[in-house]
Every structure is written in C-alpha cells, then in structure tokens.
Structure 1
C-alpha cells in the first residue's frame, strides 16, 4: 500500500488536485489555513506529482469551476449542517426551504452525471447530501409537525402566520402550513396528508 493511502484528509487532497488553493480549501472546510498548508506540504513530499497536478488543474480552471454564487450557496448549506446537525428540510422556514431546493438540484445533476467533479468533491464534504431520506422518516416528520400545529392552534386559537409571525415557532409552523396550502393548490399534496389536515382543521388554510 502506498503512503498516499494514509492521508489524514483525502478530501483536501482531491480539492488541491482539482486546482483549489490553500486559502480556498481553508474557506470551504473551516479549518485554519496553516493546518491545511502543513498537511499539503506533507502530502507533496510523499506524492511527488501532487504539486504538478495542482498547478495544471489551477491553470486549466474553466466553466466547471464553481462561480461565486454557487460557492456562497454551498457555504450556507455547509454552515446550516454544522449548526443543526442535519440537512435543510422542506418544512423549514423560507431560507431553509431555498437551501433544500439547491441541494436537490445538485443531487439531480449528480445522478444525471452532469455535476462537475470539483463540485462533487465539495458536496461530499456535506454528510449524506446525495442520500434520499426513507419515506417513513419523511412521513413521521410530517405527522410530528401536524401535531405541533394542533397544539399551537389549541393554545392560541388561531392558525400560525408565516409572514406577520410573533415568534420563531409560529414562523416555522406558518411556513410549514403555507407549504401544505401551496401543495394542495397545485395538486401535489398526498391524499392521506390532505385527509389528516381536513380532519384536524375543517377549512384550513395558511395565513400571512
């Protein structure tokens, strides 16, 4: 087995080989620049062609290189995962919902074979980004949110608002309910979910 197999940070090696600079790797991983630099210095000693591969890749940066907008969105997803210990969910607030759509688009491109290698390398830094949650987990999460909604309405006497909300909990529930409202209007709401909402709240709708 070659010494290269014992790399402590193989993802950093791939990023470096793809043309990313030490500073960029540090920014994407959240690790100190000096730490990344020391690691790559060691890797260059055991892999003589690593620097040449890096230089050639950096020189050849083309349209596949992530633009600033992509990098910014990636960082938002990465920071969200670090703060919450999970990927963004569809029933979160508007910001979280936007992140869900972005991750889903990267997943779709990847499965079509249309996501550039450098972007795959970066996305792989986010655990389970390409995994589809089991249907049962999604359904259980939906039912939990419905229960929270039932409790909220019982305590406040009103449906939660997604714009003029009075607190974060109301905002989360308001966005979730609005998402269900939109899905119903577009014919995307699963029949059993519609039945459970109708059974819990006759004539339900979202509020601003």
Structure 2
C-alpha cells in the first residue's frame, strides 16, 4: 500500500491546493495519481472545513450567484415562512421537490465551505435549513469504516468475510465491503468513493480468491 495513504493528508499537497492548484495539477507536479491526491484532499477538507473556500478564492472559481438564483432563494424563503416548514424532497408537489433540491445543494456547499456569502446571508434567518444530520452521520460512518478496513489490511489480514467470520470486527468490515462491492456492480457507488477505495485498499473489488487460504 502507498505509504502516503497512511500519512494523509500530505501538508505540501494541501498547501498547493489552498493556493488554488487543481487536484490534477498537483498530481502532475508531484508525480502521483490524481486519485491519491484526491484521497489526501478529502481528509484535509474534513480536518479544515475552510480549505475548500480558500482553494476556490485563490483559484477565482466561486462566482457570484445569478439574479435568477437569488430570486429563487427569496421565493423559497417566502414559501418556508408561509408553510412554517422546510420543503421535502419526497413531496408529491414538483415545485416543492425542486426547492428541496436547491436547499440540498446549498447545504452541501456550506459543508464544503464553498457557500457564497449572498446565500449565507439570505438563509441566515431560516432556522434549521443547514441541518442534514442523517446524511452527515452516514458519510462519517462510511469514512470511519474505510479507515478501519485500511487498519485491518495493514495488520496482514486477508479481506474480511461477511460470513463464517473469526470475529465481530471481521464481520462488521466484511458486511461493509460486501455492500460497497454490490453497490459498485449496480452502478450505485459514487465515483469519489470508488476512487477512495481504489487508493486506500487496492484490490477491494476482487477481494478473496475462492478457496485461497488466509494470509499467514
């Protein structure tokens, strides 16, 4: 396994990203795979939520919201004030679903540190608009499981099994990686997560070879 994965995030790569360089440009300069650089940057952004905003500011890629988008925000705020609740993504009303998706996009930008000040100021009076505890918890759990799998493999273990396991730890990790493989086969696993898995635990898609004895 690449030693840089275990030392993530690389301080030099993070500094280059903070100064506005793209992931691909950093990879070209340091002679690393873009996915490897991306893995380091994912960890760095989690450690410093302001990193993405600094990167975009340095790169000059955080444009001012359009007049139509600001008007959309005003309409959503008025709707929330009238209804007394946030729009729902599973609503039967198409316009309500559209408003919910708009808020979801702004929520993601807020988490990444890229939410434009105009949106932040406009939404400041909308109580609870930025909350998405379930999604945040699921995302954190995914990255925690990946880190646990990295540790498991670095200890010299074979790929964890989800059946006939030697320990509860192996079972937990075996179920998790089995789920990732299943999602990937169905095209349901996000591209960023595929890259993280490819970088952190190469060979994860194949796993154990049937009948192969465990590592010694």
Higher RCO, 1 vs 2 (CA within 8 Å, ≥6 residues apart): 2
TM range (shorter): 0.3 to 0.5
Greater Rg over alpha carbons, structure: 1
Give me the TM-score of the superposition, normalised by structure 1: 0.35
